[in-house]
């Protein structure tokens, strides 16, 4: 909404600037009236005044003086405003483009984060499902009891099958006996018919034959009933054998499933243990990396402190060296060496005792050294003894050694005569 409002404001400003430019061009050509040059508010007021006069108002509003025409400076300012508005419009467009690109990048990053979160949730769900499956498999009952029950039922069904086979053999034997009885009956009937034809007088034999026939028929009926019952039993045994075969197939399937489940369980357990070991190894590596990082941080901090202290020492040593160099430049080594004869035996000791091979103390300074002392010390030249000179040289040598230690460069002091222009001069 802010960008749209800015764009609207810029468009309105452009329109006003173009209108003012047109009015300025009309004033240059000399064809601009007061009504054209007046702003929109004054024109609207003039229209209101005309409407009031037409309505018959008793008093008319006083006419306002015509506004001043825009000058060349105003037009230049308007052009500058136009250029400024164009620049602002360009900047606004650039900013909107940048904002849009940033929004797109933000949306892309948000989508990436959402995708990563979704993948993490999926992996977590898969891990939870695997854990649930492992727990369910661990909670499943043992199939050994079912296998034992099926084995017992199979044994009982096998016994019944043996009994059915024995009954079938008995049925076959009964069928054979029935056939034999039928043959005997047929023979008896034939014999009866023959006997009736031949000898109808022997009624006793006929009665016996009838009795045997009836007895054989009763036996035949009993045998038929037994055969039917045995056939039903055989059918039942066939159904039982079929169910036994189906149970054996189910038992084999259960055994194969149990084996596969055991294999899968062992593989899953192995993978779980492997993942546990990998996680433990990663944790140890992480701890080692953390300890290494902490050690590196401490080493870096100590190195930074050493560098800071070294830089401070180097800066202080350089500062002291510059001071010593400035002091050496103030007291140069160009003082003349004046030797004096050895003192008398009973004379008073001079300022510095004379030793052979050593320089005598300097009593007068040359003009250049005196001028330098006047510039630096205000005309006061401090006199230094030989011990002070030696201490100064030793201090300078120590500073140079420290600088050589810290910066790695050396300064050779051999063969240099250092004299500060005051007191005795010593040969180095």
The per-residue pLDDT for range 173-196, each reduced to its tens digit, is: 777 777 777 777 777 767 666 656
Q: Is residue 384 part of a domain?
A: yes
Token duo for residue 16: 């006003």
Q: How confident is the model at residue 415 (pLDDT cuts 50, 70, 90)?
A: very low
Whether 394 is in a domain gets the answer yes
| Banded pLDDT at 141 (limits 50, 70, 90) | low
Taking the C-alpha atoms of residue 131 and residue 125, their distance in angstroms, rounded to an integer, is 10
178 lies in some domain: yes
Higher pLDDT, 134 or 344: 134
Query: Does some domain include residue 231?
Result: yes
pTM for this entry: 0.25
Within-domain flag for 251:
yes
Summarize the confidence of residues 131-158 as an average pLDDT: 70
Instruction: Look at residues 92, 125, 149 and tell me which one is the last residue of a structural domain.
Output: 92
How many Å apart are CA 223 and CA 174, to the nearest integer? 7
- Rounded mean pLDDT, 65-86: 65
Q: 300 and 193 in one domain?
A: yes
Of the listed ranges 130-134, 316-320, 340-344, the one predicted with least confidence: 340-344
- What pLDDT is stored for residue 192 in this prediction? 64
Same domain for 377 and 249? no
> Do 370 and 297 belong together in one domain?
no
Domain count, the chain: 3
Task: Name which of 365, 287, 293 is nearest 330 in CA terms.
Answer: 365
Q: Are residues 172 and 270 in the same domain?
A: yes
Single residue among 92, 125, 155 that ends a domain in this structure: 92
| Spatial CA neighbour of 129 closest among 268, 258, 260, 277 | 268
84 and 216, same domain (yes or no): no
**Tokens encoding 12:** 């309105």
φ, ψ at 424 (rounded to 5°): -75, 155
pLDDT category of residue 410 using cuts at 50, 70 and 90? very low
Examine residue 242 and state whether it is found in any structural domain, yes or no. Answer: yes
Q: Are residues 390 and 270 in the same domain?
A: no
Q: Residue 329 has which token pair?
A: 């430049």
For residues 184 and 295, membership in a common domain is answered with yes
Q: In this predicted structure, what is the pLDDT of residue 364?
A: 43
282 and 388 co-located in one domain:
no
Of residues 223 and 201, which shows the higher confidence score?
223
Give me the chain's average pLDDT, please: 67
The answer, yes or no, to whether residue 418 has pLDDT greater than 60, is no
Domain identity same for 301 and 170: yes
Q: Which residue range(s) make up the domain with 364?
A: 331-338+355-428
**Residue 55 confidence (pLDDT) above 60:** no
Span of 38-42, 206-210, 289-293 with lowest mean pLDDT: 38-42
Average pLDDT over residues 358-366: 43
- Alpha-carbon distances of 297 from 106, 112, 289, 290, 305, rounded to whole Å: 34, 33, 12, 10, 12
**Residue 240 located in a structural domain:** yes
pLDDT at res. 36: 44
285 and 227 inside one domain: yes
The model's confidence at residue 374, banded by pLDDT at 50, 70 and 90, is: very low
Quick one: average pLDDT of 386-403? 77
126's tokens:
């898969």
Looking at per-residue pLDDT, the higher value among 300 and 117 belongs to 300
β-bridge mates for residue 361, sequence order = 424
Cα–Cα distance, 291 to 283 (Å, whole number): 12
What's the pLDDT at 324?
78
Higher pLDDT, 328 or 247: 247
292 in a domain, yes or no?
yes
Answer with the residue of higher pLDDT: 266 or 149. 266
- Residue 290 and residue 368 in one domain: no
| Structural element, H or E, at residue 42 | helix 40-55
For the cut 80, the answer to whether the pLDDT of residue 381 exceeds it is no
CB 338 within 8 A of CB 359: yes
pLDDT for the residue 369: 47
Binned at pLDDT 50, 70 and 90, residue 408 comes out as low
**DSSP single-letter state for residue 346:** S
Helix (H, G, I), strand (E, B) or coil at 420: coil
Q: Is 296 exposed, middle or buried (0-12, 13-18, 19+ CB in 10 A)?
A: exposed
Cα–Cα–Cα angle for 59, 60, 66, nearest 5°?
155
Q: Is 278 in the same domain as 372?
A: no
209 has a pLDDT exceeding 50: yes
Give the domain-ending residue among 30, 59, 92.
92
The pLDDT value given to residue 23: 67
Mean pLDDT of all residues in 18-34: 57
Per-residue pLDDT band for 14 (boundaries 50, 70, 90) equals confident
421 — alpha (psi -120 to 50), left (phi > 0) or beta? left
* Cross-strand partners of 424: 361
Q: Identify the pLDDT of residue 72.
A: 66
Average pLDDT over residues 75-90: 74
What pLDDT does 294 receive? Answer: 86
User: pLDDT grade, residue 338 (50/70/90)?
Assistant: very low
At 137 the pLDDT is: 65
Residue the block writes with tokens 């008319």: 60
- Mean pLDDT within 33-43: 42
């Amino acid at each position: 909404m802010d960008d749209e409002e800015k764009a609207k404001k810029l468009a309105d400003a452009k329109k006003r600037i173009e209108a003012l430019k047109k009015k300025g061009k009309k004033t240059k050509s000399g064809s601009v009236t007061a009504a054209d040059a007046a702003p929109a508010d004054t024109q609207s007021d003039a229209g209101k005044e005309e409407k009031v006069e037409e309505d018959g108002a008793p008093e008319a509003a006083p006419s306002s003086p015509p506004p001043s025409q825009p000058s060349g400076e105003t037009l230049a300012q308007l052009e500058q405003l136009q250029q400024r508005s164009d620049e602002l419009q360009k900047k606004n467009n650039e900013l909107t483009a940048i904002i849009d690109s940033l929004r797109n990048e933000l949306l892309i990053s948000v989508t990436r984060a959402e995708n990563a979160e979704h993948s993490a949730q999926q992996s977590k769900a898969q891990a939870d499902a695997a854990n649930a499956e492992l727990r369910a498999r661990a909670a499943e009952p043992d199939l050994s009891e079912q296998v034992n029950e099926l084995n017992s039922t199979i044994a009982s069904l096998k016994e019944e099958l043996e009994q059915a086979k024995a009954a079938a053999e008995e049925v076959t034997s009964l069928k054979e006996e029935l056939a034999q009885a039928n043959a005997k009956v047929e023979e008896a009937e034939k014999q009866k018919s023959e006997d009736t034809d031949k000898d109808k007088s022997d009624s006793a034999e006929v009665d016996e034959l009838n009795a045997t026939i009836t007895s054989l028929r009763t036996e035949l009926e009993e045998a038929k009933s037994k055969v039917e019952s045995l056939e039903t039993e055989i059918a039942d045994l066939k159904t039982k054998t079929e169910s036994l075969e189906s149970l054996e197939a189910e038992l084999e399937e259960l055994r194969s499933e149990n084996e596969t489940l055991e294999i899968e369980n062992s593989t899953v357990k192995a993978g779980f243990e492997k993942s546990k070991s990998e996680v433990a190894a990663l944790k140890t590596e992480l701890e080692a990396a953390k300890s290494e990082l902490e050690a590196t941080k401490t080493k870096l901090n100590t190195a930074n402190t050493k560098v800071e202290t070294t830089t401070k020492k180097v800066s202080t040593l350089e500062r002291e060296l510059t001071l010593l160099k400035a002091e050496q430049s103030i007291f140069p080594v160009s003082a003349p060496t004046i030797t004096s004869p050895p003192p008398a035996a009973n004379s008073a000791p001079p300022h510095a005792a004379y030793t052979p091979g050593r320089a005598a103390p300097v009593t007068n300074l040359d003009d250049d050294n005196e001028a330098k002392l006047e510039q630096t010390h205000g005309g006061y030249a401090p006199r230094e003894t030989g011990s002070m000179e030696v201490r100064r040289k030793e201090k300078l040598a120590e500073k140079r050694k420290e600088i050589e230690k810290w910066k790695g460069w050396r300064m050779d002091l051999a063969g240099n005569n250092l004299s500060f222009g005051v007191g005795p001069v010593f040969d180095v």
